[in-house]
């Protein structure tokens, strides 16, 4: 029997520099398909690893200036909708000196 | 009995710890810690032996890091370290101070937070940003930063803060209400008839005299000052110094009349040590007279600066004095500044220096 596509989990890929801040976290995370937006997905990460939202988002609230989130290859905001099975890629942008 | 002395160093790329015994002749360097985040201020909580580091990452934002084992392992938190939605978010923690059971954090953009659980969670003390002067605060070169935090040692309702470039403020009610404390300090960057405003001065560093909580010293962008009434009135103490510009100040651990400064050559002259020769300047009489301390410090071709939180004393007898440079060197004196040794080189830019004495 095939899995119902509507139930496919959202896959979130996290950058190594972020995962180092949360020793229990892993680079690839599955989140139930019930999350509707990127913001919901980040909230789900924060429930799993308290404090992770603050590392990805500021209190505007928006994705931090030097963090990038891509959904299906497109740059996303907290409001970007997520289809079941979507792939969310969190990346550290070019920064520093 | 003193078992070891730690120098806690915040740098542009992480926190470092140097460790020695009470003789303070040889030092061992550890780090970088805090995932190489810029760490603006690293302090010790002497009551618990905890090291706390405040900073902020361009990627991941502000946080206070904490180590209960002298740097071996660290945790971090920014829970509650936030302004309301819609306001400019906090970029970094700039200063930390312990007062009784509370921990204070000053941040960029300027504001004050308190933690009553050792830095796990934070609450905004909104009274400071509700001060009527707030709409007129302007950032200094490093941003609109709350960089100096001086809790009163005997009255935990009283606290002084220094904000660049808003000036000095004091609260007597645990941060509910604040008064400006800038009378007598100059703002040379203002038109000639507005150089002594109520607020808006560019305070660089504020320190408290040992055993005299109402005696404060400040290094300002425009001069060096002493106050003997908790900052209500400030008197210039810059006569006898090679310039009126500098960043750090460090108070002696026991003598309220001894202060260390490290004047730089001027705000538009490069901001390095005057004539390319390094010197710490010490007063033993509250700023009436000054002596330059150069033994062991480079006396030629030297173009470093020392930032506002990058000089400190320890509490041993004789007192140790320490400073870290913009070029990543760390200098130490175990004899109250009379002679100096370079104890680390090639570190990232040093942003803060503090000390911790661990008893056996």
Instruction: Check which CATH number belongs to the domain holding A47 and give it.
Output: 3.10.20.30
What is the percent of chain B where pLDDT is above 90? 97
| High-pLDDT (> 70) share of chain A, % | 95
A:B CB pairs within 8 Å: 51
CA dihedral B271, B220, B352, B172 (to 10 degrees): -170
**Has residue A1 got a pLDDT over 70?**
no
The secondary element (H helix, E strand) that includes residue A47 is helix A38-48
pLDDT tier for residue B42 given thresholds of 50, 70 and 90: very high
Q: Is residue A73 part of a domain?
A: yes
How far is the C-alpha of B265 from the C-alpha of B262, rounded, in Å?
10
The helix (H) or strand (E) run that includes residue A19 is: helix A16-19
Ramachandran region, residue A49 (left: φ > 0; alpha: ψ -120 to 50; beta: rest) = beta
**Which chain A residues touch B85 with a CB distance below 8 Å?**
59-61
Residues of A numbered 16-45 whose beta carbons fall under 8 angstroms of chain B's beta carbons: which are they?
17-18, 20-21
Residue B22 burial class via C-beta count within 10 angstroms: exposed 0-12, middle 13-18, buried 19 and up: middle
In a domain, A97, yes or no: no
For residue B227, pLDDT beyond 90 = yes
* Tally of domains within chain A: 1
CA B297 vs. chain centroid, Å, equals 22
Write the pLDDT tens digit of every residue in A11-38. 999 999 999 999 999 999 999 888 899 9
Residues of the domain holding A17: 5-92
Report residue B293's pLDDT band, with 50, 70 and 90 as the boundaries: very high
Identify the residue with better confidence: A50 or A96. A50
Please report residues of B whose CB lies closer than 8 A to that of A96.
58
| Per-residue confidence band for A96, with pLDDT thresholds at 50, 70 and 90 | low
CATH topology for B2-359? Methylamine Dehydrogenase; Chain H (2.130.10)
In a domain, A87, yes or no: yes
When scoring A18, A21, A53 by the number of chain B Cβ atoms within 10 A, the one with the most, hence best to mutate, is: A21
**What does the pLDDT average to over B259-274?**
96
Region B144-172: mean pLDDT is 97
pLDDT band at A3 (very low <50, low <70, confident <90, very high): low
Q: Around B53, how many Cα atoms within 13 Å sit in the side-chain half-sphere? A: 36
β-sheet bridge partners, residue B282:
B260, B291
Confidence tier at B193 by pLDDT (50, 70, 90) = very high
- Contact partners, residue B44, CB within 8 Å, separation at least 6: B6, B8, B50, B51, B52, B354, B355, B356
Cβ contact, residue pair A21, B59, below 8 Å: no
pLDDT (tens digit per residue) in B309-345: 999 999 999 999 999 999 999 999 999 999 999 999 9
Whole-number pLDDT of residue B92: 98
Report the percent of chain B where pLDDT is more than 70: 100
Taking the C-alpha atoms of residue B351 and residue B74, their distance in angstroms, rounded to an integer, is 20
Q: What is the CA radius of gyration of chain B?
A: 19
CB-CB under 8 Å, B85 with A17: no
- Kindly report, residue by residue over A47-90, the tens digit of the pLDDT: 999 999 999 999 999 999 999 999 989 999 999 999 999 999 99
Domain positions in chain B: 2-359
Average pLDDT, chain A: 93
Among B146, B142, B122, B123, smallest CA distance to B134 is for B146
Min Cα separation B208/chain A (Å): 34
């Amino acid at each position: 029997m095939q899995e119902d596509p509507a139930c496919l989990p959202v896959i979130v890929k996290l950058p190594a520099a972020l995962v180092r801040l949360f020793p229990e976290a892993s680079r690839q995370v599955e989140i139930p398909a019930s999350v509707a937006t990127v913001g919901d997905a980040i909230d789900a990460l924060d429930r799993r690893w308290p404090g992770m939202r603050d590392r990805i988002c500021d209190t505007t609230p928006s994705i931090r200036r030097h963090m990038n989130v891509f959904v299906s290859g497109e740059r996303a905001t907290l409001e970007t909708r997520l289809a079941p099975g979507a792939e969310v890629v969190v990346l550290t942008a070019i920064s520093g000196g | 009995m003193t078992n070891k002395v730690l120098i806690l160093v915040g740098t542009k790329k992480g926190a470092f710890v140097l460790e020695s015994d009470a003789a303070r002749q040889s030092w061992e360097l550890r780090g970088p810690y805090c995932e190489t985040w810029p760490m603006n201020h690293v302090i010790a909580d002497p009551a618990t032996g905890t090291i706390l580091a405040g900073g902020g990452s361009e990627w991941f934002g502000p946080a206070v890091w904490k180590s209960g084992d002298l740097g071996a392992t660290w945790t971090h938190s920014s829970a509650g370290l936030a302004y309301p939605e819609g306001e400019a978010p906090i970029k970094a923690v700039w200063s930390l101070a312990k007062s009784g059971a509370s921990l204070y954090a000053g941040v960029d953009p300027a504001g004050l937070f308190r933690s009553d659980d050792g830095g796990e969670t934070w609450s905004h003390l909104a009274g400071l940003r509700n001060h009527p002067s707030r709409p007129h605060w302007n950032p200094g070169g490093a941003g609109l930063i709350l960089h100096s935090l001086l809790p009163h040692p005997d009255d935990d309702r009283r606290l002084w803060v220094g904000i660049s470039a808003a000036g000095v403020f004091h609260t007597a009610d645990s941060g509910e209400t604040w008064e400006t404390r800038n009378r007598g300090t100059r703002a040379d960057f203002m038109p000639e008839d507005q150089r002594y405003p109520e607020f808006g001065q560019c305070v660089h560093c504020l320190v408290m005299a040992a055993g005299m909580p109402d005696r404060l010293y400040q290094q300002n962008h425009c001069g060096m000052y002493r106050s003997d009434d908790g900052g209500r009135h400030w008197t210039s103490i810059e006569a006898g110094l090679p310039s009126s510009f500098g960043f750090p100040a460090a108070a002696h651990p026991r003598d309220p009349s001894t202060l260390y400064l490290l004047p730089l050559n001027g705000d538009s002259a490069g901001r390095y040590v005057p004539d390319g020769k390094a010197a710490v300047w010490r007063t033993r009489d509250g700023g009436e007279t000054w002596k330059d301390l150069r033994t062991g410090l480079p006396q030629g071709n030297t173009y470093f600066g020392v930032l506002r939180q990058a000089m400190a004393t320890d509490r041993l007898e004789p007192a140790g004095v320490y400073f870290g440079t913009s070029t990543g060197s760390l200098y130490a004196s175990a004899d109250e500044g009379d002679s100096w040794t370079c104890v680390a080189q090639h570190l990232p830019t040093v942003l803060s220096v503090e000390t911790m004495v661990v008893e056996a």
